[in-house]
Amino acid sequence: MKITSLAGGIGGARFLRGLTQSEKVTRNVDVTVIANTGDDIWVHGVRVCPDLDTVMYTLGGGISAERGWGREGETFTAKEELAIYGVEPTWFGLGDKDLATHLIRTTSLNAGYPLSEVTQALCDRWEPGVHLIPMTDQRCETHVVVDHPETGARIAMHFQEWWIRYGAQLPAHEFIQVGLDQAQPAPGVIDAIMNADLILLPPSNPVVSIGTILAIPGVHDAIRNTPAPVIGLSPIINNAPVRGMADACLSAINVETSAVSVARHYGSRSSGGILDYWLIDHSDSDSLAEIEDLGISARAIPLLMTDIDAAGAMANSALDLVHAN
Ligand code: FO1
């Protein structure tokens, strides 16, 4: 069975760990992960790809369990030394172990290798157990339009500065994908969607993670047209994001922070959208009828990914849904 999943950062990676380590799934299942690269950033001369690395480290066993990003047992000596020199950005958490990944990636990119090939080479070490592909090999960074915290002037800043330095507390007027008009799906992306037996949208940020991937020319159409069923899992439980600041992102695009509103935002496949199924938490089960009215089959299951087993149970619910229909 071929499963293709779009994925953002921490929530998506944790779901995928449940999917790939669940006993039901490991047998003859081939998982391809199309990861968001809109969060990617140049810092201190190296290219950092947060969502690719979060998936690679989480599935490869190197992730910091406490942070959900970066490496377990990490030190930040290089970051501290850079700060002593007064070199910005001092707000970015550049880890020493993580730096090795960024240095190899930067050297390979500078030598002309595409990001998809560089990612494959890094995965040779980490063996995440999935085929990890960036959404595009071209630079397509998310920048956020905000009012400058001091001057009030309307400016665009890199997503990471908004997310890390300002904790997504500056109201976002707009998200812009810089480079989108030149971006093409990376090799294998469209094929992984069109030839899958199942498409999964994990509980990643629907705006800056899943939304960013869907905006790459050709991806949304491929998901609309693939013969595979498309199952999404709500990143919103009881009208609140499970982690991260999905609510700050949803309000920027005038989408209410609720399981049903995100389902409406993705849309049913029968009405020009991408969802066949939408899994919500039991606490939102009063929305089941409303979601079904959108033309999307809905189920309420435990959606809180407290540990790997909980994520595995969620993945199994998604698979059961497909087998049942
Ligand atoms: N998130 C933070 O909240 N603070 C950081 O300093 C930080 C550094 C960082 C470095 C490498 C990396 O791969 C991820 C990092 N993240 C950090 C997480 C990252 O900002 C977000 O996880 C994604 O961009 C959103 O999914």
pLDDT tens digits along 171-223: 999 999 999 999 999 999 999 999 999 999 999 999 999 999 999 999 999 99
Residue 103 covered by a domain: no
Residue 295 covered by a domain: yes
The reply to whether ligand 1 has any atom less than 6 angstroms from the CB of 40 is no
CA distance 245 to 205: 8
Greater model confidence, 295 or 22: 295
Residue 94 covered by a domain: no
The reply to whether ligand 1 has any atom less than 6 angstroms from the CB of 92 is yes
Three-state secondary structure call for residue 120: helix
Nearest to 317 by CA among 202, 216, 146, 178: 202
Q: Relative to the CA of 50, which ligand 1 atom is closest?
A: 13
Residue 217 covered by a domain: yes
**Which residue bears the tokens 């700060």?**
83
CA of 123 from ligand 1 middle (Å) equals: 19
Q: Look at the pTM and tell me if it is higher than 0.85.
A: yes
Residue 100 covered by a domain: no
The reply to whether ligand 1 has any atom less than 6 angstroms from the CB of 53 is yes
- Which residue's CA lies nearest to atom 14 of ligand 1? 50
CA of 50 from ligand 1 middle (Å) equals: 6
Residue 27 has pLDDT above 70, yes or no: no
Residue 289 covered by a domain: yes
Please report the pLDDT score of residue 306 as a whole number.
87
At residue 135, φ and ψ (nearest 5 deg) are -60, -35
Residue 242 has pLDDT above 90, yes or no: no
What band does 4 get if pLDDT is binned at 50, 70 and 90? very high
Domain membership of residue 256 as a residue range: 2-41+49-60+126-137+182-324
Please report the pLDDT score of residue 169 as a whole number.
94
What band does 3 get if pLDDT is binned at 50, 70 and 90? very high
CA of 93 from ligand 1 middle (Å) equals: 7
Encode pLDDT of 42-78 as tens digits: 999 999 999 999 999 999 999 999 999 999 999 999 9
Encode pLDDT of 101-130 as tens digits: 999 999 999 999 999 999 999 999 999 999
At residue 238, φ and ψ (nearest 5 deg) are 55, 45
Please report the pLDDT score of residue 29 as a whole number.
84
Number of domains forming the structure of the chain: 1
CA of 27 from ligand 1 middle (Å) equals: 33
Residue 145 covered by a domain: no
Please report the pLDDT score of residue 243 as a whole number.
75
Greater model confidence, 322 or 266: 266
Residue 274 covered by a domain: yes
> Could you tell me if residue 64 is left (phi over 0), alpha (psi between -120 and 50 degrees) or otherwise beta?
beta
CA of 69 from ligand 1 middle (Å) equals: 6
Residue 319 has pLDDT above 90, yes or no: no
Give the strand pairing for 240-241 and 236-237.
Answer: antiparallel
Sign of CA dihedral 174, 217, 276, 58: negative
| CATH code for position 19 | 3.40.50.10680
Nearest to 51 by CA among 124, 146, 170, 159: 159
